[in-house]
Amino acid sequence: MKREIEIYSLQMTSPADLRPSRPSVAGFRVEQARVPCPELNHFFYTAVGGDWYWIDRLEWTYDQWRAWVDRPELETWIGTFEGTPAGYFELERQPGAHVELAYFGLLPGFLGRGLGGALLTAAIERAWEMGASRVWVHTCSLDGPAALRNYQARGFRHYETKRIEKEFPDVPPGPWPGARKLSSYTG
């Protein structure tokens, strides 16, 4: 089905813009995945983005995933809760000392636990450590309901909105059919 979506572009131009959030629970850690691993990034892309129509990379081959992750410009970081992967982010160095928060999100079973702000804080802090002159991200009207609010709460400022029409499946692909219904973790 063809749908119109809004794409929101946001940026920070100074580390002083960051309004950090710390985890609301003990046991949350963020660590870099230092070994490029296409399977890992593919897993997070489908598991995090499956409910939000992340479909652009679903047809990528293993070689395409490997080419994406095996570059010095890209860093992948994993947020864990009590040793279990809870979310991730990808940072991409770009020309002009810009760093894009290319992908960011939590696995469905960890939404609503106060981890998103802490994971986003870690992403932004790392982007500035990479020598960024600007940190930017885009989100859209199909992303999770807290996504835009989280970005703005951390200090990102909106600078552009685009409206596009794009073909989407009738329902989001999910990480697998019925995944949300199966998540019973209550931690």
Pairing state between β 134-140 and 98-106:
parallel
What pLDDT does residue 23 have? 86
Mean pLDDT of the region 78-93: 97
What pLDDT does residue 182 have? 45
DSSP codes, 130-165: TT-SEEEEEEETTS-TTHHHHHHHTT-EEEEEEEEE
pLDDT at 184 over 60: no
Query: CA of 97: how far to CAs of 12, 21, 86, 130, in Å?
Result: 13, 25, 29, 9
- Prediction pTM value: 0.91
Reduce the DSSP state of residue 2 to 3 states and report it.
strand
What pLDDT does residue 53 have? 82
pLDDT at 100 over 90: yes
What pLDDT does residue 62 have? 96
Q: Which domains does the chain have, with CATH numbers?
A: 8-163 (3.40.630.30)
Mean pLDDT of the region 141-145: 86
Alpha helices per DSSP H over the chain:
38-49, 62-69, 116-129, 147-153, 179-182
* pLDDT over 70 percentage in the chain: 94
What pLDDT does residue 84 have? 96
pLDDT at 118 over 70: yes
**What's the chain's average pLDDT?**
91
Tell me: the pLDDT tens digits for 3-14? 899 999 999 999
5's enclosing H/E stretch is strand 2-12
Higher pLDDT, 151 or 172: 151
Tell me: the pLDDT tens digits for 37-77? 999 999 999 999 988 888 899 899 999 999 999 999 999 99
Q: Return d(Cα 85, Cα 128) in angstroms, integer.
A: 24
Confidence of residue 107 (pLDDT cuts 50, 70, 90): very high
Q: Could you give the count of Cα atoms lying within 13 Å of 16 in the half-sphere of its Cβ?
A: 0
Query: CA of 28: how far to CAs of 68, 77, 80, 108, 181, in Å?
Result: 27, 13, 6, 16, 24
What pLDDT does residue 63 have? 97
What pLDDT does residue 180 have? 53
